[in-house]
Amino acid sequence: MEVTRLNFESVLPEIQSAIDTATFLSIDTEFTGLSNEVERPSFDNTAERYEKIRAKSLEFLLVQLGLAIFTYDPEKKVYNHRTYSFYVFPKPCTIARLGQDEWFKCQATSMDILGEGNFDFNKVFKQGIPYLNQYQSGYIRRYLERRRENRLRFEEATVGYPITINDDLKDTVEEVEKQVEAFVADPSAKNVTLPAFNSYVRRILFLHLKHKFGVDNLLYETLDRSIVVRRRPSPEDLVIEEEERVNNENIRLDLATGFSKLITHISQSGKYIVGHNMLLDLCHIIHRFWNPLPENYDDFKVLLHSVFPRIIDTKILIKAPQLSIDGVKFPSYLKKTFLQIQKEPFKLIKLECGFGEEQSYSLDVYKDHDAGYDAFATGVLFQTVINYLGTFKNPPAEHVEPYDDILKNYTNFVYIMRVNSTINLEGMDDPVDRSNVFYISCQTKWTPPSIIKLFSPFGDIQIRWINPYAAYVVLKDRSQVENVKEVLIEKRDQSQYVNTNYRVMTYDNHVRLLKERIQNRRTRFRRPFSVGRRPYYRSPPRSFNTYDQNYQGNEGHMEGGDQGNDLRYNQEEQWQGSATNNIPEEQPEGQQEELQEDLL
């Protein structure tokens, strides 16, 4: 079911009621882009990866959120589902001046992919559901309270006094006086709205008009940048008017808060939230509908866990060791994983659409780049997989609930794309082990066969080019790490190696040297220059923009870097021949599977 600004308020109670009785919820999102980084991230730890997402990816806009609500019926043994696709857009708020419109970026590749999937951009920009996060809504609420207090103080203020009118304002004041005099002389007129002026002129007019016409029979109010003069009602009517004004302001604020009300209800429900490769989804949801993401990574973990206390990432779930018993290998991409669970040894769950079968999603035709369908597919994937894991229990279980002990090791862990690690929302993250990563540089251009030959005694490798003169090399066999250190670092001048113009170091040492170089450059630029001496600026270090190629076989046969329509492949599929181009890493799910690698 598609939900826009036109029907959001009417269907919101129905959605909230379905959430309250749900077994679990699954989500997915679509964005105007994924990352504005030209360069690839290196081998980040969890905190570094979060910093990059916060700094780069949040500049894009979340335009669609899919929510699938699954409820298990134990009598029918079916899973009732209601799926919604919400179009959202940060409509400028007119209640109070928030200081700025929201700016966002678009990535051509992402927009093109959405367009190919018949994404309706008009529904986003014309009918998108508005929203305010808690910081914005709190600011507006405080602004309205201050305005009410100022309004009351203004009524109790002085009745005005003679003031000196500057020559440049005399014509304006005379014209305003004529309008007010005409209003006072016309008993049938209810009010008069004066032209808009800046705050200085308005204050001059307030004082002058109050002094000239008094306050016993007239009431002076501000509407936007204009002054409205009307006949003073009775004290009882003034109280009623103030109550109506406050009520209207609260209604307008509630409408402006919009989609954030649904996220608040989901948070308060405490239901299990299921997603696939969902870190970017969660970051956008928190940032846009709850509160701006904190700078500190540990603060982010606390915030995320407080908003969604029960999270399951199916990207981690499908790596369960029980699945390897039957030789099941899941691809990384959600669409292919969804198709995989429709085959043996899995038994697809029985589904029943809460809107009627005529509005049910088809399992046979996958709807690409539809957040609602991706959320639906994620929920089906989740329940089918955990039911399969239930067959390993003693006794076997036909139906497994999300709170079952079998899922204890998968709850509140979020997969980090490109880092091949996880965020532990209830404890310390596991350290990212890069001991098998080496940095290699040479005075002349390297070729893949040269690196393959150099590392051939130590097994299969992955090559990630930094530039023609340097690359990262990743060992598949971690047991060979010490041998590499001994042979290529400590004894690199041995005669059996033809090319001795290279240098190999561990990844940790390379990162340390880079940080020292950056710090030294900053320190040097802070030093005062000698008088009369031309400052000398060294060029910045080489760009870490990477270009990738796939190398397979001992001869170093080179293939093009374009992975086609599906850039997401398993770690097991990467280790082919003696070398491949990248460390195993994942791209964000949804619209991103077709992005060219050189854009990510």
In the block, residue with structure tokens 């990477």: 546
Backbone angles phi, psi at 376, to 5 degrees: -60, -45
Q: In whole angstroms, give the CA distance from residue 232 to residue 230.
A: 6
Q: In whole angstroms, give the CA distance from residue 484 to residue 388.
A: 42
Q: In whole angstroms, give the CA distance from residue 336 to residue 573.
A: 15
Domains and CATH numbers, the chain: 2-128+258-424 (3.30.420.10), 140-251 (3.30.1370.50), 437-522 (3.30.70.330)
Taking the chain, what is the end-to-end CA distance rounded to the nearest angstrom? 32
Q: What tokens does 131 get?
A: 């929203």
Query: What's the pLDDT at 78?
Result: 93
Per-residue pLDDT tens digits of the chain, which is 600 residues long: 999 999 999 999 999 999 999 999 999 999 999 875 544 546 778 888 898 888 888 889 999 999 999 999 999 999 999 999 999 999 888 777 655 578 898 989 899 999 988 899 999 999 999 999 999 999 899 988 888 887 777 665 555 567 778 888 888 888 988 998 898 888 888 888 888 888 888 888 888 888 888 777 788 887 778 888 888 888 888 888 888 988 998 999 999 999 999 999 999 999 999 999 999 999 999 999 999 999 999 999 999 999 999 999 999 999 988 887 767 778 878 988 898 888 888 899 999 988 876 667 778 788 888 999 999 999 999 999 999 999 998 898 889 999 999 999 999 999 987 777 899 999 998 887 888 899 988 877 778 888 888 898 999 988 888 888 888 898 888 899 998 888 888 776 554 554 567 888 898 888 888 888 877 776 665 555 444 444 444 444 443 333 343 333 333 333 333 333 333 333 333 443 344 444 334 444 444 433 333 322
Query: What's the pLDDT at 563?
Result: 33
Q: What tokens does 438 get?
A: 């080496």
Query: What's the pLDDT at 553?
Result: 35
- Taking alpha carbons only, the member of 64, 62, 59 closest to residue 105 is 59
**438 and 476 in contact (C-beta within 8 Å)?**
no
Query: What's the pLDDT at 158?
Result: 53
Q: In whole angstroms, give the CA distance from residue 212 to residue 596.
A: 72
Beta bridge partners of 421: 416
Q: Strand 470-475 to strand 437-442: parallel, antiparallel, or no bridges (unpaired)?
A: antiparallel
Sign of dihedral through CA atoms 482, 487, 488, 489? Answer: positive
Dihedral class, residue 87 (left if φ above 0, else alpha if ψ from -120 to 50, else beta): beta
Q: How many CA atoms lie within 13 A of 7 on its CB side?
A: 12
**218 and 232 in contact (C-beta within 8 Å)?**
yes
Backbone angles phi, psi at 191, to 5 degrees: -165, 170
496 to each of 47, 470, 491, 554, how far by Cα in Å? 42, 22, 11, 19
HEC letters along 173-222: HHHHHHHHHHHHHCCCCCEEECCCCCHHHHHHHHHHHHHHHCCCCEEEEE
Helix (H) or strand (E) holding 54: helix 46-56
Q: What tokens does 359 get?
A: 């509005």
Query: What's the pLDDT at 226?
Result: 84
In the block, residue with structure tokens 């003693």: 394
pTM for the structure as a whole: 0.76
**375 and 68 in contact (C-beta within 8 Å)?**
yes
